[in-house]
Amino acid sequence: MKFLRIKNIVLVFILVLISLPSFAGKNHITIAGSTTIMPVSEKWAKAYKKKTGIVVNVHGGGSTSGIKATQTGTADIGASSRELNYSEKDHLKQIIIGKDALAVIVNKSNQIKDLNIDQVRGIFSGRIKKWNEVGGPDKPIQIINRESGSGTRDLFTEVIMHIMLADKTNKVVPMCLSSIVNNSNAEVKESVKLIPNSVGYISIGYVDNTVKPLTINSISPTPKNVYDGKYSLVRNLYYLFKEENDKSVQSFLAYVLSKEGQLFVTKEGFLPIVENNARD
Amino acid sequence: MKTAISKIQAEENFALGALKISGWLIVSVLIFIIGYIFYYGLPEVLSWHYLFTPPEGGRHDNGGILYQILATIYLIIGSLIVAAPIGVFAAIYLTEYAPQNFITTLIRFAIENLAGIPSIIYGLFGLAFFVIFLKFEYSLLAGALSVSIMVLPVIIRTSEEALKSVPQAFRQSSLALGVNKWQTISKVVLPSAFPGILTGILLSIGRIVGESAVLILAAGGSITAIPRFVSTTYPYVLPDSARTLAVHLYYQATSYDARAKAFATGVVLIFIVLFLNWCINQISKGYRKKLAVR
Amino acid sequence: MQETKIKKYFEKKEKRFWSSFVNLFMEQLFFLSASVAVISLFLITAYVFYNGFKLFQFVPVTDFLFGFDWDPVTQKLFGVFPMIIASCYVTVGALVISAPLGIACAIFLAEIASPATQQVIRPAVQLLSGIPSVVFGLFGLAFIVPLIQDVGDVAGLSILAAIIILSIMILPTIISISEDAIKAVPKELKESSIALGTTKWQTILGVVLPASSSGIVTALILSVGRAFGEAMAVKMVIGNTQTMPDFSPQTGFGLLSLARTLTTNIVGDIEYAEPGPHLSALFATGAILFLFIIIINATSYVCLRRNSVKSNS
């Protein structure tokens, strides 16, 4: 009997524990998509909940699945680090919520300050194997790359690894495959910090005094150069949603674009949509 | 003659010394690893704030790990609700009913193989079957179901051992009184096998807590709200994805700008494992005492 | 009087009917529960292989199995050959370190250690087996990788780091199963050897180890399975490069080289893999991993069988 009673108590306890959370929050917005944007979305979700009480759920899954989830209605907002392509444009609207600029970084012990695009391409394609070929010491270069399919790697490939051939067609120079492959900005930064002869690329907001950003063609990766259009390793970050959406989504988007919302973009290492917010 | 003996003696001393060193070496490796993790992680945990505040997300991983702890608890409950009855029932079938035939051999073969499958395969299966095919999306539900299959062999094996250790005389005397088989099992066999079964469940809790590969693939990693198993407004909203402590540690160590905090999560995980081991040892001690009294 | 008797009779009969119904029902339920294991194994096999086979619409099997490069997005290269090599390398490496150490520890526990010493070492081994793999990964990333980098003037993320972490992780498996096997050796066998005037070490070497060899082999095979299938801890320390490790003597015949194993390929790429060839290729990687595991499992199954036959006869 005693055994049975304990069992019952445990059972009730378990049932209560499970049912409790399912009553929490009904009115909510769901965001799915790019994992690059996830940290910012999480920040917005947190602040927006504090402000209005509306719960915003944030899921990852990548840009493409975010776009699909928005089309089918499983998500209210899709987060994407690339522009919608032609077939995806039906019934979807997109807005820019921030910008992401990449900096090429090296270890602090490295003497090199500047590379031109050709040299960066040479290094990442594996043609340039030692730092002395670009004016550094006689040490092998350790490349740190992002994983295949990552939007950051796609952007880097698009801007740096594309070359125009004589007959005006585009060609992608394949990246060197014998590199370290990391899965996030923070991980690349940690690796570059740790390994003396390494080179990698990360969002400029992640650059701090533990690593050294390089200037490319003598243009340094600063927000000002990005807004002036001088620095080319930049992409837009998008939110997309159905044309006919409800008010709660609209007001969340308004919050995202407000001055307060854009502050989180800066905090998470990206650039706000308009320049003057960057200096706040 | 004398030199030969002393040579043998020297060899003996050397060999036994080496065995002793290897034993203590393993203990010192363990102490070093735990010490290393505690040295960097304990201060953060001892501030308590870290344990009881919700995470705030963002790249510096502000806030604490409250939702991750909740997600871990929900995952344990969710997967055990599925795995514990099925596992114990399967063990009962194998010890009390199973005839010597092809189907029993097949069941045993399946359990052996499930036990050997690496967790990443369970993750891939969870992704393909629960997340994509059954459209659960990345969710605690998909994670719990995948994990419950993973711990099934653990529960079945330990329960089977426990059931086998119940003396055959118990069953026979019960059946002789005219009590049928199910009543015998539920009133006589299960109660005396209970400590062993509990040990199996505690072991599987340990595996669930430490699991990360399956959950990264099947449960996603959202930390914005208290996780729920099933969404209240299902067709329009995804069921909740959630992140357990072990998965959070992986993200802290690699994806966040917060490697130092990963040690704190590591300390919490090690404490959970220590607690589970303590429980298991208490049970087996109590069990041994009970047997001694008999 | 008669009425109540009849009533009681029917009540009893009803009760008996009900309990025998429950009895039958539970038997069916137990059988169903047991068959869940078979159904799960079937579903897992089917889904992993089915999703993996989709890859071969896009890529020939030989390019997948024997290709040297993995660049699924830009160059559409899906070679997993280096990962197979790296997985094997890492597993063998871990076994080379932890097999002697683990067996030695098992002998120490079973034959030499005093009860007090056992009280220390056994919980330690138990705790070691319970520590989550991500914690080992974190330790490797924070301690072993910088150490290798300092000593070797290399990246630090390397096969060696993975081997060290894995060898610690598989020790508990080797120790606990070998210890059981050693303990199962009959006392008379040992005593008669000692009576012949041999020393303790000679008895261990000449009698105990041969008698428990099949159990120890089973322990080693099981730990091979564990090492081969470990994903997270290895992912954190191996560098996850996309091509063949460098096996030249300068990198210690590959020890200090970057690599990518079958498991880390899945963990590293899954987050951004879009449906299509890339995702299918990850499932196909899982299928290859699965095949290896099936072979390892089958070997251990055969070993166990032979073991039990031996002990029966």
Interface contact B156, partner C, CB < 8 A:
yes
Helix (H) or strand (E) run with residue A60 in it: strand A55-61
- What kind of fold does domain A2-99+237-277 have according to CATH? D-Maltodextrin-Binding Protein; domain 2 (3.40.190)
Interface contact B266, partner C, CB < 8 A:
yes
Tell the CATH superfamily of the A101-234 domain.
Answer: Periplasmic binding protein-like II (3.40.190.10)
| Residue B60: per-residue pLDDT | 79
pLDDT exceeds 60 at position A2? no
Task: Express each pLDDT in C89-100 by its tens digit.
Answer: 999 999 999 999
One domain, residues C53 and C125: no
Q: Is residue C20 part of a domain?
A: yes
One domain, residues C178 and C282: yes
What tokens does A26 get? Answer: 């009904």
- What number is the average pLDDT over the span C227-254? 91
What tokens does C46 get? Answer: 């089917």
Q: Which residues in chain B have Cβ-Cβ distances shorter than 8 Å to C38? A: 106-107, 110
Q: Is residue C175 part of a domain?
A: yes
One domain, residues C126 and C10: no
- How many Å apart are CA C175 and CA B79, to the nearest integer? 29
Q: Is residue C27 part of a domain?
A: yes
- In this complex, how many residue pairs, one in chain A and one in chain B, have their CB atoms less than 8 Å apart? 107
Q: Distance from CA of residue C37 to its chain's centroid?
A: 19
Query: What is the pTM for the complete model shown?
Result: 0.90
From A151, A179, A195, residue closest to C241, measured CB to CB: A179
Interface contact B249, partner C, CB < 8 A:
yes
Asked if B117 and C38 come within 8 Å (Cβ–Cβ), the reply is no
Q: Is residue C64 part of a domain?
A: no
Q: Is residue C147 part of a domain?
A: yes
Task: Express each pLDDT in C151-194 by its tens digit.
Answer: 877 888 999 999 999 999 999 999 999 999 999 999 888 888 88
Asked if B57 and A45 come within 8 Å (Cβ–Cβ), the reply is yes
Interface contact B277, partner C, CB < 8 A:
yes
Which domains does chain B show, CATH number per domain? 19-293 (1.10.3720.10)
Asked if A148 and C260 come within 8 Å (Cβ–Cβ), the reply is no
- What number is the average pLDDT over the span A116-131? 93
One domain, residues C235 and C104: yes
Instruction: Kindly report the CATH number assigned to the domain that includes residue C287.
Output: 1.10.3720.10
Q: B147 to chain A, minimum CA–CA distance in Å?
A: 17
Asked if B254 and A21 come within 8 Å (Cβ–Cβ), the reply is no
| Residue C73: per-residue pLDDT | 87
Interface contact C166, partner B, CB < 8 A:
no
One domain, residues C120 and C165: yes
Asked if C145 and A194 come within 8 Å (Cβ–Cβ), the reply is yes
Interface contact A185, partner C, CB < 8 A:
no
CB B97 within 8 A of CB B104: no
User: Which chain C residues in 191-230 lie under 8 Å from chain B, judged by CB atoms?
Assistant: 199-202, 204-205, 222, 225-226, 228-230
Among B45-54, B267-276, C41-50, name the one with the lowest average pLDDT. Answer: B45-54
| Residue B233: per-residue pLDDT | 46
Of all residues in chain C, the one with the smallest CA distance to A184 is C268
The residue that leads in pLDDT, A9 or A131, is A131
Q: Is residue C272 part of a domain?
A: yes
Asked if C74 and A183 come within 8 Å (Cβ–Cβ), the reply is no
Interface contact B219, partner C, CB < 8 A:
no
- What number is the average pLDDT over the span A47-59? 84
Q: Which residue do the tokens 């006689």 mark?
A: A138
Interface contact B130, partner C, CB < 8 A:
no
- How far is CA C48 from each of CA B112, B219, C268, rounded to the nearest angstrom? 19, 18, 18
Interface contact C240, partner A, CB < 8 A:
yes
Could you please report the per-residue DSSP string of C125-154? Answer: HHHHHHS-HHHHHHHIIIIIHHHHHHHHSS
Give residue C35's domain range. Answer: 2-57
Domain limits, CATH 3.40.190.10, in chain A: 2-99+237-277, 101-234
Q: Is residue C278 part of a domain?
A: yes
pLDDT exceeds 50 at position A3? no
> Where residue B73 falls among pLDDT bands split at 50, 70, 90?
very high
| Residue B234: per-residue pLDDT | 44
| Total domains, chain C | 2
Interface contact C116, partner B, CB < 8 A:
no
Q: Which residues in chain B have Cβ-Cβ distances shorter than 8 Å to A75? A: 238
- What number is the average pLDDT over the span A107-129? 92
| Residue C248: per-residue pLDDT | 87
Q: Is residue C66 part of a domain?
A: no
Q: C178 to chain B, minimum CA–CA distance in Å?
A: 14
SS (H, E, C) chain A: CHHHHHHHHHHHHHHHHHHHHHHCCCCEEEEEECCCCHHHHHHHHHHHHHHHCCEEEEEEECHHHHHHHHHHCCCCEEEECCCCCHHHCCCEEEEEEEEEEEEEEECCCCCCCEECHHHHHHHHHCCCCEHHHHCCCCCECEEEEECCCCHHHHHHHHHHHEEECCCCCEEECCCCCCCEEECCHHHHHHHHHHCCCEEEEEEHHHCCCCCEECEECCECCCHHHHHCCCCCCEEEEEEEEECCCCHHHHHHHHHHHCHHHHHHHHHCCCECCCHHHHCC
Chains that touch A (3 or more CB pairs under 8 A): B, C
- What number is the average pLDDT over the span A22-39? 70
Of all residues in chain A, the one with the smallest CA distance to B73 is A17
Pairing of strands A198-203, A142-146: parallel
- What number is the average pLDDT over the span B44-71? 85
Task: Express each pLDDT in A135-172 by its tens digit.
Answer: 888 989 999 999 988 888 988 998 899 888 877 788 88
